[in-house]
Every structure is written in structure tokens, then in C-alpha cells.
Amino acid sequence: MARMANKVPERVEPAKLRRETREWLATRTIPNVREIAKDLENAGEDVHDLLAAIDELEAILKEGPAKSTGRSAAKAEA
């Protein structure tokens, strides 16, 4: 039987999200999910994975949009 090596998962490239989507995630979704996680934790649930996912989403949002392609850059200049 083959033994699985412990691999650190690779981080995905930041998605190309519209500014409005990024703002909504930062101001609405993330705070709401943090509040839900707090309620679950107060109820005795383990929310470690949920909080880690929220932190990862915040980090992706802070990185900003993925690098522009030539087409997107040309569109922006037009």
C-alpha cells in the first residue's frame, strides 16, 4: 500500500472579482459568517476550520485582483 506524503495545499490564484463583489464579501459576507462562527462556538461547536477559511478568504481579498490579461488592460485604456 502506498503511503501518502503530507503536502501543504497550494494556494489558489485570486479570482477576478468585480469591485462590488469584493466590497460585498468584505463588508457583508465575512462579518456575517464570523458572527455565525461566534454563535456556533458559544454553542460548543468546533469552528477552527470555518475561521481558517474566513481568514483565507480575507487574505485573498486583500491581495487584490489577479494580474490583468492583455485584453483586460487594453479594455481599461479604451
Read off the pLDDT of residues 3-61 as tens digits, 9 standing for 90 and up. 555 555 565 565 677 889 889 999 999 999 999 999 999 999 999 999 999 999 999 88
The answer to whether residue 50 is domain-embedded is yes
Closest CA to 55 of 36, 33, 38, 39: 33
Closest CA to 64 of 26, 9, 10, 28: 26
The answer to whether residue 6 is domain-embedded is no
Residue 75 has pLDDT above 80, yes or no: no
Q: What pLDDT was estimated at residue 16?
A: 77
Q: What pLDDT was estimated at residue 70?
A: 47
Domain coverage including residue 35: 19-64
Using the CB atoms, write b or e for 53-68: b if 16+ within 10 Å. Answer: ebeeeeebbeeeeeee
- How many helices (H) and strands (E) are present in the chain, helices listed first? 4, 0
As for how many domains the chain has, the answer is: 1
